[in-house]
Structure 1
Amino acid sequence: MKKLIAILFFFFVLVIFSLSYMTVKKQKNTYTYYTMGTILSFDVIADEKIAVPAVSKAYSEIQRINDEFSNYSESSSVSILNNSGKKGHVVSNEFISILERSREMSQITNGLFDITVSPLVKIWGFYRHKGRVPSDTEINFTMQL
């Protein structure tokens, strides 16, 4: 009986070591994209069969958000709403939720977080990488908008 237990133990250890060599080696993979006006990198430690679909799904969601909320894209809901004037524009529930949360954050930070800063950003030239220092008069006028 002791001999049988020893043989079974030996095979158990052999199977464990064999399985450990059969596992897929996980390695760090870096995936880099240009989006939202900046460079985005994903560092993923996983088998590529898992990493590639996961990164692809994450990047697709980031692109969806960028397409909806970018102030650089003329077809985004943000740009359409900004250019609609008093006509208005129908927006998604997600858009409304973000506006509501933004208002809450503005109140919590006493106005330090302010999504209405776009006119100031425009006069400084940040949108098109043609920066300039506006005059105090321009700044004061723009802050009244």
Structure 2
Amino acid sequence: MQTKKKISLIIVILLVFLGGTITLYRMTSSPPKYETKEFLMDTMVSLEVTGQEAKKAGQAAIKAMRQTADRSTRYNEDSIISKINKEAGNKPIKVNDDILIMIKAAKKYGRLTEGKFDITIAPVIDLWNFETGKNLVPSTKKIEEKLELVDYKKIIINENEKTVMLAKSGMKIDLGGIAKGYIVDQAADVLKKFNIKSALINAGGNIRTIGTKSSGDKWRLGIKNPRDNSKDPKDNYLNIIEVKETNVVTSGDYERYFKKEGRRYHHILDPNTGYPARGLASVTIISDSSFKADILSTALFILGFKEAKSYIKEHDDIEGMLVTTDLNKWRSKGFKELIAD
């Protein structure tokens, strides 16, 4: 009988030990991770999500981004933006809340930058044909003709009716400098509804971090060297920064460009001249909103070094780095504090 009791006691002890081991494993094992990529708004969007509902959350976030991207690109004939452009000078178009928010913000920053940020630049963008790779510089006459159609003040918004209209026939709007930031914020909101505490969203230069890495470490992000002609990987980045729960957005003259007779022509156009903005090679903005950072990285690039520097210094809610075309760098105090050792 005593032998049987001893055997029973040993079995109980083993079961308790194994049960404790299994519980310990569950506590210390890594939570599920989900990674995906999708081509949206002419750029590759990637998600890295960690959490108990990582896959479900990641798929929902991509779905929300895709829906808004489809509605806000003018290159989709069925999009709301295409309808607004087609009916320019004719009639207002009913819009959803997302489009209304984006266009209202665009007009606001148009005023704040005295027209340096202007989403009605689309007719001039079409002249340059950066997408086709033909590398042709439009004539001054053609640019001047198209500039007659550029004026953010002629975007007519009726908030009560939720409609948008362009006052003049031939006008077009392009949300390329604003929509990526908006859909990144949208994706982050979706992930947080699933109680995701760790995620990285990268939409072609628009980076959003949620919390820290699952390990607890901060995210390490590289700020690209806009004149990276070196074979040495160390020269690919001007700085490595360490961040958590923030947005880092960079606009640069290296993203879409061509060279003609030794001169660089890039896709960030000055609405006042119709030509590529000069002076800066890249602008990086850090903000609590990807939407705001996306707008500002473009607007400040066009404003130029002096005004961009003043703007960043005057606004406590953003940090930034400016890189001139001869690779001189200016960093705000808060930005310097994020640089990795």
Aligned to 1:60: 63
Aligned to 2:14: none
Whichever structure has more helix as a proportion of its residues is 1
SS in 2 for 1:132: coil
**Aligned in 2, Cα 1:74/1:100: closer, same or farther, shift over 3 Å?**
same
Q: Which amino acid aligns with 2:99?
A: F
SS in 2 for 1:87: coil
Aligned to 1:144: 148
Cα root mean square deviation, aligned: 2.5
Q: Structure 1-normalised TM-score?
A: 0.77
Whichever structure has more strand as a proportion of its residues is 2
Contact 1:121/1:127, CA 8 A, preserved across alignment: no
Aligned to 1:114: 118
Q: Structure 2-normalised TM-score?
A: 0.35
In 2: Cα distance, 1:27 partner to 1:106 partner: 43
Aligned to 1:105: 109
Aligned to 1:82: 85
Which one of 17, 28, 31 corresponds to residue 26 of structure 1? 31
Which one of 67, 74, 93 corresponds to residue 71 of structure 1? 74
SS in 2 for 1:65: helix
Contact 2:110/2:116, CA 8 A, preserved across alignment: yes
In 2: Cα distance, 1:127 partner to 1:119 partner: 14
In 1: Cα distance, 2:122 partner to 2:20 partner: 61
Larger Rg computed on CA atoms: 1
Contact 1:72/1:127, CA 8 A, preserved across alignment: no
| Structure 2 segments unaligned to the other structure (5+ residues) | 1-17, 150-341
In 2: Cα distance, 1:70 partner to 1:128 partner: 17
CA deviations over 1:93-138 (Å, ceiling 9, x no partner): 4323322211111111222221111011111113555553211111
Percent sequence identity is 25
Higher relative contact order (CA 8 A, sep 6+): 2
How many pairs were matched up?
132
In 2: Cα distance, 1:36 partner to 1:99 partner: 17
Q: Does 1:41 align with 2:35?
A: no
Q: Displacement of 1:77 after TM fit?
A: 0.5
Contact 1:70/1:78, CA 8 A, preserved across alignment: yes
| Structure 1 segments unaligned to the other structure (5+ residues) | 1-13
Q: Displacement of 1:18 after TM fit?
A: 4.6
